[in-house]
Structure 1
Amino acid sequence: MNSLLLDSTLASAERELREQVDGDVRFDPGTRAAYSTDASNFRQVPIAVVTPRTVEAAAMAVAVCQRHGLPIVSRGGGTSLAGQCCNEAVVIDFSRHCNRLLSVDPGARTCVVEPGIVLDDLNRQLAPTGLRYGPEPATHPNCTLGGMIGNNSCGATAQRTGKVVDNIVSLDVLLHDGTRFTARRLDDEQYTAVVTGVTGVTGAGQRVAEIHRELRRIREEHADLIRERYPDIPRRVSGYNLDSLLPEHGFDIAGFLVGSEATLVTVLRAELKLVPVVTARTLVVLGYDDIASAADAVPAVVEHQPIALEGIDHYLLHDQRLKGMNIDALDQLPEGRGFLMVQFGGEDQDEADNRAHAMLDAIDRGPEDADVSFYDDPAVEDEFWLVRESGLGATAHVPHKPDTFEGWEDSAVPVHRLGDYLRDLRDLYEEFGYASDTGPSLYGHFGQGCVHTRIPFDLFTTEGVATYRRFMERAADLCVSYGGSLSGEHGDGQSRGELLKIMFGDQVVGLFEQVKALFDPEDLMNPGKVVHPAALDAHLRLGGTWAPRQTRSLYFDFPQDGHSFIQAADRCVGVGKCRQYSHEGGQVMCPSYQATGEEQHATRGRARLLFEMLNGHGDSPITDGWRSQEVKEALDLCLACKGCKADCPASVDMATYKAEFLAQHYRHRLRPRADYVTGWLPTGVRALDRLHLQPLVNRLAGIRPLRRAGSRLAGLEDRDAPRLAAQTLQAWAAQRARSVRRLRSVDADRTKRGKVMLFPDTFTNYFHPDVGRAAVAVLEDAGWQVEIPIEPLCCGLTWISTGQLDVAKRRLRRTVNALAPHVRSGGLVVGLEPSCTSVFRSDAKELFAADPDVDRLKEHTVTFAELLLHHSDGWQPPRLDGTHGLAQVHCHQHAVLGWDVDRQLLEKTGADVERLDSGCCGLAGNFGFTAGHGAVSEACAEQVLLPRLRQAPHDTITLADGFSCRTQIEQLDSGGKQAQHLAQLLARALDQDHPS
């Protein structure tokens, strides 16, 4: 098709899709860039993205594509590791709208779902029935059932429940030509009814009959070949499931279509088998000399029917320690360098424990042995499972190690041959130069012989790519020689599609081609995957010809990415953890995605656009680099909460990337008015204070028409402006210092610890000085001499968040210089506002990479709680027995500073304070005040924070150290709750203990 004809076809298709499909139809460069890759090594820019609101709308989209001869690919969570989800096609994304649980039959233990439902969401909805869907990949918080069906997913729970193919009743499927039918297991009578038209359906019914007849013919003519060439192992995922058609599997058409990776049909609905929830669990961790020895022990352990049996090696643990992941769990592991995590289930804890003890007795080990750890506390067990589930993220972008990649990440072999296979695989790593003293790691679902790994392939040079190809071919030969499967969980896609002939032989691959021609004769269903696959070294996201646009001089140093924005933009590995809708587990990222459900507003989507902005392949839809409006629009709803810095397994720091982008985007250009108003806030409020205009400004801001006009003029949302304090914290401190009488009244014993500098951040100083005064009272009670600088100092936060980095660096430089004498002498600086404190602990180091004063400031900056708990030995906080509270933890506390110390301090007071799993409050500094952000800001607050505050009893205290959090709670309907800083809570308790 020539380019003019193609343009005409696409224009017509776009018009029809918009007219006829109930949903979002996107042909824009930004959306196409966001969907250009999945979690694999591959990249293909889609034609368009359709997010249908109903499955019938999805069917209409397929019909339009059929009329125009356009290829399609169905997509769920976009976490496929073999390239299944990226293609030069129309992407149909079911995850945003087609995500409903349609019905549940507890008696039959089945349910019906739409393909976009996320696994964890499904199981939460099923919880009241005592049932759940069995297969559970490590991406369970964000993978969809449609994607699981497409890939025949498994996970650790497959030890008990099997793969998706074992847990399907029926599928409502659609072919590219519009044929639609329900695929299920058919006995002979049912089969006859389909192929003879007893159902009374003509036209489409004839096409369905043809499909069933041809599948039956393939079974009858090639049953022995299929039995011969298909490995008899629990984790055979590669290839089409022709074995599901065999008589012993009941001519299961639904099972056959599972794992076909959207190359044959589009799944519109699925009827699933459910299993009872395991009531009680016990985890035993066994240590061995190495991972191969651990694998040797698997057959003896499997005999005791654990519900999960995972293997992890010391390389994986080493990587997690380097990245600071799951440290508490790692410290509780038994002795060894290779480990088996063996989980048993039961109706009650005694039953689960007894099964675990029986296994230990049989292998001649005991719970007290140094190489055994025994746990039956669910919370502790969950910590250990995080060690295993963090595998992909933990082995990506490890400090001081080469980047690792998927490709050979999920092969499977018979369990009794697993140990030898791991030894030979390690030898293969050595032969190809991929092995070192620090990896690659080998881990996975050892109870079913499935091995996960990420390998330091050189995918940056032509020579490296050629070596990668040779390795893949040799690894396939090795796996097949062990009677294994190239894929044991993730599917073939483009990574292994080309290698299927090695595993199955020409005849079986020929059957795959027959099936493809039967279902999709025009090759328009996810073309280039499984059948007639693209080469395993084609369409690489990197590759020897990748030549990204070199970036101009940067403001941030990006020390974790080789001082390169190019490497930073390539940091996302596509695992999709940022696409969670729930805050369970305390995750903060990504609030705008949680509010909108759009890929471009997830950390992953934004990272993809930044990568495409570099235009390393010359065909990127993003063509104008730092000036890109598409990238700017995607970053516009980033709240700069830094949640991804802590929650993303690859430590993507989108807040920093956004600040850098905005600085480059507006270099030598005018900015939006809101950037000047909110960015220069510290300068503005200082000027108002010097002119004593606070009362006037507060009065004017309270006049609604004036406020509206001013907000509109400034480019701000129409919301209440925070009230300026009559007296700043610095003014109060100066007045206090001049009062000789007050100074003499301070007991010398109460300043015995020496001097601490209390940093007067803009928000505490000008808006909430009562927080600073409370902090002084508590710190003096703890024995500190508190000094507050009286000169104007600022960390530069507001300029950083608006991308005015040249100004930010000047202001921060001045502050660093002012604090330098204090920190050089070993003095501590205590921060009260989390966002400003995190600048000293994080951003400053990245803006001034090789500055000893910045390094000292980072090390000597402490939070209020850290100073009291870690540096005030012997001080006892006031008692707060009987106090019940809710804590809204500031995003930067979560991401940079941590809240554990605050929790420990509150526990010492006797207070019962629950940390809300609420994520970002939604205000996030300037974000919630900027015009166009109001709906998202409020939606973030309404997810958890505001409903919980409204539901809480009236006497429940609300803790929020962040100025933004307190403001959001005050301004939105929070059930009348007023939030306070931890310093205020402790100061009031001191007043009650020591009334004046």
Structure 2
Amino acid sequence: MSHPREDHSGLERALRAEVDGEVRFDAGSRGAYATDGSNYRQVPIGVVVPRTVEAGAAAVAVCARFGAPVLSRGGGTSLGGQCTNTAVVLDWTKYCNRLLSVDRERRTCVVEPGIVLDELNRQLAPYGLKFGPKPSTHSHCALGGMIGNNSCGASAQAYGKTVDNIRSLDVLTYDGTRFRAGATGEEEFERIVAAGGPQARLYRGMRDLVGRHLAEIRRGYPKIPRRVSGYNLDSLLPENGFHVARALVGSEGTLVTVLRAELELVEVPAAEALLVLGFDDIYAAADAVPQLLRHASPTQLEAVDGRMAQLMREEHAHLDSLERLPEGDSWLLVQFTGDSKEEADAQAHELLRALGRDEDDPGVALSDDPQREQEMLRTREAGLGVTARPPDGSETWEGWEDSAVAPERLGDYLRDLERLFDRYGYQQASLYGHFGQGCVHTRIPFGLREGKGVEAFRSFLFDAADLVASYGGSLSGEHGDGQARGELLPRMFGPRLVGAMGELKALFDPGNRMNPGKVVHPNPVDGNLRIGAAWRPEPLTTHFAYPDDDHDFGQAVLRCVGIGNCRTHRGGVMCPSYRATGEEEHSTRGRARLLFEMLDGHQDTPVTGGWRSTEVRDALDLCLACKGCRSDCPVGVDMATYKAEFLAHHYEHRLRPPAHYAMGWLPLWARLVRTAPGLPGLANAALRAPAVGRLGKLLAGIDPRRDAPLFATHSFQEHRHAFGGPQPDPSDPRTVVLWPDTFSNHFHPHVARAAVRVLEDAGFRVAVPDEPVCCGLTWISTGQLATARRVLRRTTRVLRPWLEAGTPIVGLEPSCTAVFRADAPELLDGDQDIARLAAQVRTFAEQLAGHAPDGWQPPRLDRAATVQTHCHQHAVLGADPDGELLRRAGIDADVLDEGCCGLAGNFGFERGHYDLSLTIAEQGVLPAVRDTAPDALVLADGFSCRTQIDQADTGRRALHLAEALALALDGPLPDDRPERAAPRPRPHPAAARRAAATAGTAAGLTVGALLAARHRRRARKETP
């Protein structure tokens, strides 16, 4: 039961009236922003998404008028609790994300706070420049957040922290003072003071503060590479140029709001080399760091320990990179850059000679292959995800995840830290990080679910703070203080220096309205915990078993630790709806946060109603159930499964949306169409008829702009049983079962017939079930899980002779095959027939590439091809066998890394989803298809992918891999799909791109209007 919250209706009305932006005080938005990447949780007052930096400044002015706290937020990945507060959250990332200018000669640029680091560097690439610091979250962290946290990353070894790369900042105080801050010479200082006003007061106050605490500031800051804790009062020292901008870096939004930033840039190196050195343990690796630094100046010097490698092997993550590691149980990854490959290699060889080692040493590996290097370094970057939720089911947490000491003292510090772990019984903590600068990353199995565990957590943090201070180190070497370390700052700096930091806070924010409770005047380290002794979630009975989460839906939801990889914009599959909307709520993380709030473990949760929650339903409505998060999320969040679970309970004993009956029961309707000759033609005629078709789509909940799939004249099973002869013996080792999925059976039977030709050419004898069978996919995706279980049990009864014989089951449709591998075993946990099916099912490519008789070679096609991998194949099945089969068939494959096609089964057909579906497709897949050469193939095994390509304005028809190989045998089978319309001429590429851009823009605007309407409905519903 939630407490009634304070009435902020006046504040909300003023923000709506005066701010050009999206103003959201609804429960769903507040729930999505209640946590960041830390252990902490505070429900915000509301969320403002400004369209311009001026609108953001206007929002601060309104909040100041009402006395409301303000929190600026970028990617929301902070591990210290900096990005969670009971405040008005300003999310800069959706609109205020531009690169405003670049000065190539001065090597500077000006950016807005919401621009993502990788996107900035992509836009800077034509200038040969980049921003130097590169945290592991570089694909989704915003520059405003990097400035707030003083972010570093592995490249800080060469380029320093964010603070070292800031030229100036355009900042705004809570009281409305706006000025450009930078280095301040004496003449500039006098000019500011002479002008009078609020800026003069601030500058006089800062100089006075430094003058009174000069000795403490000069002595009190540890002289180590990675000191991120505390305010940068040392940047205000005279010898450091009274650099006000750099003093504000790392202040975590507690002093000012950053509106624009002028950044210093570095040259993109021409060549790189990566040297990996193996050691007996992580302590020996740490001991070696000072010697390495005496003989070399690497651009990165990273460490990975044996525990992390073990976790990666258990989680089957980064296995290719692990195989390339040299002998050892811990490793240092040393990167060099140069103007040429030879120069970079020479530095690595020189270091080896200085160490008395060479390339033949089994504990040494050297690479100058950029792709391989990036894979190895990504292995180190994956540390947080890999160590967050180990396969043994234990939980690890941040809290002491980035302490830092001088590199020459690192080995001794690690040994003492390990002894402290032992004292508290915290076993199996992985130790890794930026060892070249003495920064140590780890996650610790704190017992945060009960009172004694929370007490131990608090006690450990104070002991650890004393330990690192005794080494002259820093509480934080990268992630900042926030709430996680704010209370500990006196242990590191002493009361007088912390008092000086408090004076700086009072100077800029006397009312403590800027991100209060962080850094100074902090909330206690054990307050506002996301889970803790007071956390009491409701026990839930579920349909899926969640075997990897102790059979607990709540534990599955807690997999999300806020890393934020679902907020990336390029590469991989996750998360298509976020990429199209830019909305936190429509990211995998945002949905996980709302599901967490739905568990009702906190009395102040904004999300009420449990499984009936409309906020969760709305967030999940735009989830495509692509399963991209299952593989791309570092901790394996599977939002498609969570969505199916939620829909099952949400609509239990209630009327469902029409599409759940139309698309969700598609296998049944397809079967009924086969009950009489001529029915498929009549059904297609009705679907084509303008009036009847429109009415049918309206009743079925299908978007009127979407062409309904048309039934083939004869199903694959009908054709096979008429002309295929007797079924082969299940015990014959040459026998395989070709799975007649709904799409290959009723809509694209030519694909299944092509597969038969290729399989028989390879020497297999193909069996096809005589009875109707189904994997239950459409029922699962619409949350009709009880029906899906019945369908699966019936299917295994039909398949039993082949299951008992161990006959391979070959799937053609990736989404159906993935059901057997993933969804079915979790939905029918312990069912032996389902377990056998999961073990025996193979993709078409797996069967041919890995199990064809010796000597068989696929027919050669010798053609180029653009290949779109189905999301479920990417997430569950893998595509390596497809790549091998394509290679052996002489197909020069350009495998797209453009994400989801946007159709995603029933999703793109449903009313209200068309525009989002098209926006997603136009972000990558469709432009790539249009750019495919006329004589090249377009391959897509997924029915959804082929349908999206066929129905969009591409002028191309995609083939299944089976069709392509059959084409190489002796010509194509006729495509017996009914024509949905007259074939369209292929447009000129430039015209197609213009049309696509127009369509994509229009779809994007419609998506924005849809989201705005949803928020307005929520606001009206919640207005007192």
Per the shorter chain, which TM-score range? Answer: over 0.9
CA–CA distance in structure 2, aligned partners of residues 780 and 188 of structure 1 = 85
Deviates more, 1:944-953 or 1:862-871: 944-953
* Deviations 1:649-699 (CA, angstroms, capped at 9, x unpaired): 010000000000000001111101111001111001100111231111112
Question: What residue number does 1:245 align with?
Answer: 236
CA–CA distance in structure 1, aligned partners of residues 455 and 354 of structure 2 = 48
C-alpha displacement of 1:396 = 1.1
Matched, 1:441 2:430: yes
5+ residue gaps in structure 2? 975-1024
- For residue 375 of structure 2, the aligned residue among 375, 383, 387 is 383
Question: What residue number does 1:603 align with?
Answer: 588
Question: What residue number does 2:801 align with?
Answer: 821
8 Å contact from structure 1 (residues 753, 783) kept in 2: no
Helix, strand or coil at the partner of 2:14: helix
CA–CA distance in structure 2, aligned partners of residues 611 and 776 of structure 1 = 47
- For residue 270 of structure 2, the aligned residue among 279, 288, 293 is 279
Question: What residue number does 1:202 align with?
Answer: none
C-alpha displacement of 1:337 = 1.2
* Deviations 1:472-529 (CA, angstroms, capped at 9, x unpaired): 0000000000000000000000000000000000000110111111000000000000
Q: Relative to 1, partners in 2 of residues 1:267 and 1:853: Cα closer, same or farther, differing over 3 Å? A: same
Percent identity, aligned pairs only, is 57
C-alpha displacement of 1:875 = 4.3
C-alpha displacement of 1:723 = 1.4
CA–CA distance in structure 1, aligned partners of residues 46 and 854 of structure 2 = 64
Question: What residue number does 1:201 align with?
Answer: none
- For residue 972 of structure 1, the aligned residue among 952, 957, 978 is 952
Question: What residue number does 1:896 align with?
Answer: 876
Where does 1:362-381 land on structure 2 (aligned, <5 Å)?
362-381=354-373
* Deviations 1:406-458 (CA, angstroms, capped at 9, x unpaired): 000000001100000000001111110002xxx21000000000000000000
8 Å contact from structure 1 (residues 812, 844) kept in 2: yes
Where does 1:581-980 land on structure 2 (aligned, <5 Å)?
581-583=569-571, 587-692=572-677, 693-718=679-704, 719-738=706-725, 753-880=733-860, 882-974=862-954, 976-980=955-959
8 Å contact from structure 1 (residues 820, 857) kept in 2: no
Helix, strand or coil at the partner of 1:791: coil
8 Å contact from structure 1 (residues 877, 986) kept in 2: no
8 Å contact from structure 1 (residues 731, 790) kept in 2: no
8 Å contact from structure 1 (residues 643, 892) kept in 2: yes
* Deviations 1:840-861 (CA, angstroms, capped at 9, x unpaired): 1111110111122111111100
Letter in 2 for 1:54: T
CA–CA distance in structure 2, aligned partners of residues 465 and 34 of structure 1 = 25
8 Å contact from structure 2 (residues 963, 972) kept in 1: no
Where does 1:161-176 land on structure 2 (aligned, <5 Å)?
161-176=159-174
Letter in 1 for 2:920: C
Matched, 1:548 2:537: yes
Q: Relative to 1, partners in 2 of residues 1:564 and 1:5: Cα closer, same or farther, differing over 3 Å? A: closer
Letter in 1 for 2:221: Y
Deviates more, 1:151-160 or 1:865-874: 865-874
8 Å contact from structure 2 (residues 44, 86) kept in 1: yes
C-alpha displacement of 1:234 = 1.0
CA–CA distance in structure 2, aligned partners of residues 257 and 276 of structure 1 = 26
CA–CA distance in structure 1, aligned partners of residues 595 and 397 of structure 2 = 20
CA–CA distance in structure 2, aligned partners of residues 301 and 190 of structure 1 = 43
CA–CA distance in structure 2, aligned partners of residues 807 and 502 of structure 1 = 60
C-alpha displacement of 1:271 = 0.1
Q: Relative to 1, partners in 2 of residues 1:694 and 1:347: Cα closer, same or farther, differing over 3 Å? A: same
Helix, strand or coil at the partner of 1:309: strand
8 Å contact from structure 2 (residues 736, 810) kept in 1: yes
CA–CA distance in structure 2, aligned partners of residues 766 and 35 of structure 1 = 45
Matched, 1:563 2:542: no
8 Å contact from structure 1 (residues 866, 901) kept in 2: yes
Helix, strand or coil at the partner of 1:727: coil
C-alpha displacement of 1:992 = 5.0
- For residue 333 of structure 2, the aligned residue among 328, 341, 345 is 341
8 Å contact from structure 1 (residues 96, 598) kept in 2: yes
Helix, strand or coil at the partner of 1:328: helix
8 Å contact from structure 1 (residues 549, 614) kept in 2: yes
Helix, strand or coil at the partner of 1:823: helix
* Deviations 1:579-605 (CA, angstroms, capped at 9, x unpaired): 01112xxx1011011111101100000
CA–CA distance in structure 2, aligned partners of residues 879 and 993 of structure 1 = 13
C-alpha displacement of 1:752 = 8.1
Question: What residue number does 1:360 align with?
Answer: 352
Question: What residue number does 2:452 align with?
Answer: 463
CA–CA distance in structure 1, aligned partners of residues 935 and 10 of structure 2 = 62
Q: Normalising by structure 1, what TM-score?
A: 0.96
Helix, strand or coil at the partner of 1:183: strand
Question: What residue number does 1:223 align with?
Answer: 214
CA–CA distance in structure 1, aligned partners of residues 911 and 261 of structure 2 = 42
Q: Relative to 1, partners in 2 of residues 1:875 and 1:813: Cα closer, same or farther, differing over 3 Å? A: farther
Helix, strand or coil at the partner of 1:980: coil
8 Å contact from structure 2 (residues 750, 973) kept in 1: no
Q: Relative to 1, partners in 2 of residues 1:713 and 1:992: Cα closer, same or farther, differing over 3 Å? A: closer
C-alpha displacement of 1:916 = 0.7
C-alpha displacement of 1:401 = 4.3
Q: Normalising by structure 2, what TM-score?
A: 0.93
Helix, strand or coil at the partner of 1:912: strand
Question: What residue number does 1:98 align with?
Answer: 96
8 Å contact from structure 1 (residues 120, 142) kept in 2: yes
CA–CA distance in structure 1, aligned partners of residues 4 and 226 of structure 2 = 47
Helix, strand or coil at the partner of 2:510: coil
CA–CA distance in structure 2, aligned partners of residues 464 and 86 of structure 1 = 23
Q: Relative to 1, partners in 2 of residues 1:484 and 1:977: Cα closer, same or farther, differing over 3 Å? A: same
8 Å contact from structure 1 (residues 782, 875) kept in 2: no
Helix, strand or coil at the partner of 1:182: strand
- For residue 138 of structure 2, the aligned residue among 140, 144, 147 is 140
CA–CA distance in structure 2, aligned partners of residues 209 and 816 of structure 1 = 79
CA–CA distance in structure 2, aligned partners of residues 12 and 318 of structure 1 = 55
5+ residue gaps in structure 1? 198-204
8 Å contact from structure 1 (residues 55, 268) kept in 2: yes
8 Å contact from structure 1 (residues 282, 356) kept in 2: yes
Letter in 1 for 2:641: T
Question: What residue number does 2:514 align with?
Answer: 525
C-alpha displacement of 1:323 = 1.1
Question: What residue number does 2:560 align with?
Answer: 572
Letter in 2 for 1:967: T
C-alpha displacement of 1:214 = 1.0
Deviates more, 1:846-855 or 1:41-50: 846-855
Question: What residue number does 2:289 align with?
Answer: 298
C-alpha displacement of 1:943 = 0.6
C-alpha displacement of 1:994 = 14
Where does 1:184-333 land on structure 2 (aligned, <5 Å)?
184-197=182-195, 205-303=196-294, 304-333=296-325
Helix, strand or coil at the partner of 1:300: helix
Helix, strand or coil at the partner of 1:451: strand
CA–CA distance in structure 1, aligned partners of residues 317 and 4 of structure 2 = 53
Letter in 2 for 1:557: A
C-alpha displacement of 1:771 = 0.5
- For residue 396 of structure 1, the aligned residue among 388, 402, 417 is 388
Question: What residue number does 1:157 align with?
Answer: 155
8 Å contact from structure 2 (residues 763, 853) kept in 1: no
8 Å contact from structure 2 (residues 393, 549) kept in 1: no
- For residue 108 of structure 2, the aligned residue among 110, 113, 116 is 110
Question: What residue number does 1:515 align with?
Answer: 504
